């Protein structure tokens, strides 16, 4: 029997009573989807999945998303192996607040991450509730944000002059950089969730490079305030990993941040994404 145990804040929940190695029955899948919409981040402990089983689980929520700039596993074009060897000195992958691939025209709705090799220390994943962050803005600031368009790009991490292009330390993962990462996509700064109808701030310091129609200084004055606001402790949920845990999160209303702190230890995760839809903004009254 499925059991959903939410965090005290309602942001994030643990789901037990399911075997994700098997296709979910219609009622169980509906319950998981409802919990996902309600809580934004779901953890499924004790799920020793094969690659085939993770792919099959992912496809129950939609088609695979597109994953640029990272070379996937051989023969598995939809699975990224997030591997950091024990002797690596490069920063851990994902060490910046972001929503996955928000620079795409149709960013992934969900990301699914399976813990294969988990270090004994460090490696937590932090999440921020962008809907709760929006709800606590003043009505005047909400109205300002409702009418703004954010510019998203992969240039800061993956561009020709980006973080990864300038790395000197060796990585186990193969990361691709170049001019393709410098394209810009415009999305509403406030995103309306297609399932819940809630409004959420849709921006991040990794992928948002400005606000349409504003100077760099004007845009960053607003964005900088929002970045600090979104990641306040009251909006955060910390996930502590255990082997064979499967985690899924909603990129449409959350940001996440991969902590380090496990130097000297191997860490291996398998990641898939669920394709998303066009970003919907607030309709003017």
Q: What is the pLDDT of residues 48-71, one digit of tens each?
A: 999 999 999 999 999 999 999 999
284 is a domain residue: no
- Cα–Cα distance between 223 and 209 in angstroms, integer? 9
pLDDT (mean) for 229-247: 98
Question: Does 284 score more than 60 pLDDT?
Answer: no
281 is a domain residue: no
Residue range 65-81, pLDDT digits in tens: 999 999 999 999 999 99
Ramachandran class of 191: left when φ > 0, alpha when ψ lies in -120 to 50, beta otherwise: beta
Range of the domain at 245: 3-274
Question: Which percentage of the chain shows pLDDT scores above 70?
Answer: 99
214 is a domain residue: yes
pLDDT (mean) for 96-105: 98
283 is a domain residue: no
Give pLDDT, residue 1: 87
- Cα–Cα distance between 166 and 99 in angstroms, integer? 23
Give the torsion through C-alpha atoms of 177, 97, 44, 106, to 10 deg. Answer: -60
pLDDT (mean) for 118-124: 97
Question: Does 22 score more than 90 pLDDT?
Answer: yes
- CATH number, position 111: 3.60.130.10
Question: Does 285 score more than 80 pLDDT?
Answer: no
- Cα–Cα distance between 15 and 112 in angstroms, integer? 14
279 is a domain residue: no
282 is a domain residue: no
Give pLDDT, residue 33: 98
pLDDT (mean) for 260-270: 97
Contact call for residues 271 and 113 (beta carbons, < 8 A): yes
15 is a domain residue: yes
280 is a domain residue: no
| Number of compact structural domains in the chain | 1
Give pLDDT, residue 283: 86
pLDDT (mean) for 1-14: 97
Task: Indicate the pTM of the whole model.
Answer: 0.97
Q: What residues does 41 pair with on adjacent strands?
A: 249
Residue range 143-183, pLDDT digits in tens: 999 999 999 999 999 999 999 999 999 899 999 999 999 99
Nearest to 84 by CA among 92, 76, 73: 92
Q: How many CB atoms lie within 10 A of CB 27?
A: 9
Residue range 191-215, pLDDT digits in tens: 999 999 999 999 999 999 999 999 9
Supply the DSSP string of the chain, one letter for each residue. --EEEE-TTSS-EEEES--TTSPPPHHHHHHHHHHHHHHSEEEE-S----HHHHHHHHHTSSSBPP--SB--BTTBTT-EEEEE-TT--SPPTT-S-B-TTTTSSS--SEEEEEEEE--SS---EEEEEHHHHHHTS-HHHHHHHHT-EEEEESHHHHSTTSTTTT--S--SS-B--SGGGG-EEEEESEEEPTTT--EEE---TTTEEEETTS-HHHHHHHHHHHHHHHTSGGGEEEEPP-TT-EEEEETTTEEEEE----TTS-EEEEEEEE---PPP-PPP-
């Amino acid at each position: 029997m499925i059991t959903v145990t939410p965090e005290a804040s309602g942001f994030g929940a643990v789901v037990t009573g399911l075997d994700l190695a098997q296709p979910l029955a219609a009622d169980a899948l509906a319950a998981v989807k409802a919990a996902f919409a309600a809580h934004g981040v779901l953890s499924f402990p004790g799920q020793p999945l094969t690659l085939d089983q993770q792919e099959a689980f992912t496809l129950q929520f939609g088609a695979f998303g597109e994953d640029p700039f990272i070379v996937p596993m051989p023969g598995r074009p939809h699975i990224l192996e997030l591997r950091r060897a024990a002797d690596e000195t490069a920063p851990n992958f994902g060490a910046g607040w972001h929503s996955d691939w928000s620079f795409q025209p149709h960013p992934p709705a969900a990301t699914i991450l399976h813990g294969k090799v988990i270090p004994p220390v460090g490696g937590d994943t932090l999440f921020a509730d962008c809907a709760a962050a929006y709800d606590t803005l003043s009505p005047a600031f909400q109205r300002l944000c409702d009418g703004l368009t954010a510019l998203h790009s992969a240039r800061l991490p993956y561009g020709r002059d980006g973080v990864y292009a300038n790395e000197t330390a060796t990585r186990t993962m193969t990361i691709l950089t170049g001019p393709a990462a410098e394209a810009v996509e415009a999305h509403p700064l406030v995103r309306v969730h297609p399932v819940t109808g809630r409004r959420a701030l849709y921006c991040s310091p990794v992928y948002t490079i400005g606000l349409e129609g504003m100077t760099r200084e004007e845009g960053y004055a607003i964005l900088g305030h929002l970045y600090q606001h979104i990641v306040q402790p009251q909006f955060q949920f910390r996930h502590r990993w255990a082997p064979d845990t499967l985690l899924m999160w909603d990129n449409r209303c959350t940001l996440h941040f991969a902590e380090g702190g496990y130097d000297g230890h191997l860490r291996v995760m398998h990641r898939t994404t669920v394709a998303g839809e066009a970003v919907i903004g607030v309709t003017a009254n």
